[in-house]
Amino acid sequence: MARSVIFIIAIFLSFCALSCIAQQQPCATYKFLNNKHFSSCSDLPVLSSSLHWNYHPLSNRVDVAFRHTGVTDRRWIAWAVNPTSEGMIGSQAIVSFQRTDGSLAVYTSPITSYGTRLEQGNLSFPVSDLSATNQNNEMIIYASLELHGNISTVNHLWQAGPMSENTPMMHSVGPSSPNVKSIGSLDFLSGRVKATRSSSATLKNVHGILNTVSWGILMPIGAVIARYLKRFESADPLWFYLHVSCQMLAYILGGLSGFGTGIVLGRRSPGMEHSFHKIIGIVLFCLATTQVFGGLVRPDKDSKYRPFFNWFHFLAGCSTLILSIFNIYKGFDLLQAANFWRLAYSGIILTLLLVTLLLEICTRWCLPITKRSIPNTTDKNTSTVIEVATMEV
């Protein structure tokens, strides 16, 4: 009986493996329906794509076929060469998609900004024999490129994204999305393909981590400590220095480093605007700067301006706290972060809210009762001393 079960499981696993192999057929065994033949190919690491080519060193011409499989909806695909850098800006793309009337569009498009809609235009090098097919749940782009200079290694990118009518729309930009990993270098002569990671994607992650830790965690912790100092009227310097340390560290990480990486990302991403997120970030930086340097001109306790300063400090702190938490969630949406990160951050915020609630309960109900019981005990002790003194007299 056990052997039969093991045999059935083995057959099932073999069937699954064969199915996966059939769905992801290696490029070396693929046969083109139009009898085209390519001497070299590479299965690209993401987006269910492969690239086939014939390289002619004497003329520096490359015949390519970019193949994208698993097409079950209307989408656009693109393959590009970037002669100047590794990123998206400056890449020379070949685009194809199915129009709403069923016809197939295929054209060239130079990428000049992150906000591109893949408009048609001439590339920086000649392209000929441009065509495309869309059948059997796969799209293929054919083209011949005449590269400038005696080079065989190029930076290349490939993409796929949704459509709106006959207009290509933005592909996914989340840090875990395969669309941000579809970049690499390609040597047409040796056939060596090397995957690389976009520096902008790494910088986005650094920007998100810095701001989440600073504005999203350290700032609320500092606010809870400040509430403790206010409610318990504590004069313990340890808690005061801890509060100041949290606020200063949040300002350095978020206000300086996080804000700085945001500026760099903005300069690297012309045409890609997240205005609401950016405006909130600028407001947060201004409020935090006012809070930090405002402490240097804080009036004395006996000054008539001290109450106004306290109200300003309180309102600015509350505004910073609310805006920072809101902007962290906005950043999660822009990065298309996994639900795990949202849930983890929500758990931290809920924990801090619970601590704040417990402090409020202790200071509003428990502490007043304790204070009232201390005078009563003192009065009783005083009465006892008086009675004893009287008896002695």
Q: Could you tell me if 66 and 80 are in contact, meaning their C-beta atoms sit under 8 angstroms apart?
A: no
Q: Could you tell me if 349 and 325 are in contact, meaning their C-beta atoms sit under 8 angstroms apart?
A: yes
Please give the annotated binding residues, written as ranges: 207, 243, 277, 313
Please give the annotated binding residues for heme b, written as ranges: 207, 243, 277, 313
Dist. CA 288–CA 248, nearest whole Å: 9
User: Length of the chain, please?
Assistant: 393
Dist. CA 194–CA 189, nearest whole Å: 14
Dist. CA 283–CA 255, nearest whole Å: 10
Cα distances from 89 to residues 12, 64, 140, 346, in angstroms, run: 47, 22, 24, 36
